[in-house]
Amino acid sequence: MAACIFCKIIKGDIPSFKLFESERVFAFLDIQPLAQGHALVIPKYHGAKLLDIPDEQLAEVMPVAKRIAKAVGAENYNILQNNGRLAHQIVDHVHFHVIPKPNEKDGLGIGWPAQETDMEKLKEYFKEVKAKM
Ligand code: AMP
Ligand code: ZN
């Protein structure tokens, strides 16, 4: 997609700190890292959200994320993939963040607003979703 910044990076029209490239996957350092070693793994196939990407285009993404986590020597790290503005997605080309968490301050800060569990509601909801799987 011509206007997409990550498609431009894949094509080499915009420079990047490229860590890995194969037929279907591209990986590079994030230019505004949350911690040293913060990198992005992207399918070369353009799509804004995860559901827009065919499964076969995603097959290599996690293995490459693993390679990056190893290469940057991260002991603690998060893998993050945002979909949609409310979910903090800014760049509309699917990307997986590999974010080292070297200490309390650096890396990803996470709010985890766990809700009270109503087991009856959860059972009903489970049935509803299971039927669509
Ligand atoms: P997200 O909020 O999940 O859409 O994250 C987009 C990420 O892309 C951010 O962490 C940005 O720092 C990163 N980013 C944007 N432009 C570039 C670029 N030209 N090179 C490297 N990383 C970038
Ligand atoms: Zn793109």
> Would residue 97 show up in a list of annotated catalytic residues for this protein?
no
- Using a 6 Å cutoff on CB, does residue 32 contact ligand 1? yes
Q: What is the pLDDT of residue 2?
A: 84
Ligand nearest the Cα atom of residue 8: 2
Catalytic residue among 38, 46, 93, 95: 95
Contact 16, 28 (CB under 8 A): yes
Find the 90 Cα to ligand 1 centroid distance in Å: 7
Q: What is the pLDDT of residue 104?
A: 97
Find the 67 Cα to ligand 2 centroid distance in Å: 23
Each residue's pLDDT expressed in tens, for the chain with a length of 133 residues = 889 999 999 999 999 999 999 999 999 999 999 999 999 999 999 999 999 999 999 999 999 999 999 999 999 999 999 999 999 999 999 999 999 999 999 999 999 999 999 999 999 999 999 999 9
**Mind listing the domains of the chain with CATH numbers?**
5-132 (3.30.428.10)
Q: How far apart are CA 65 and CA 39, in angstroms?
A: 9
Q: How far apart are CA 96 and CA 76, in angstroms?
A: 16
- Using a 6 Å cutoff on CB, does residue 82 contact ligand 1? yes
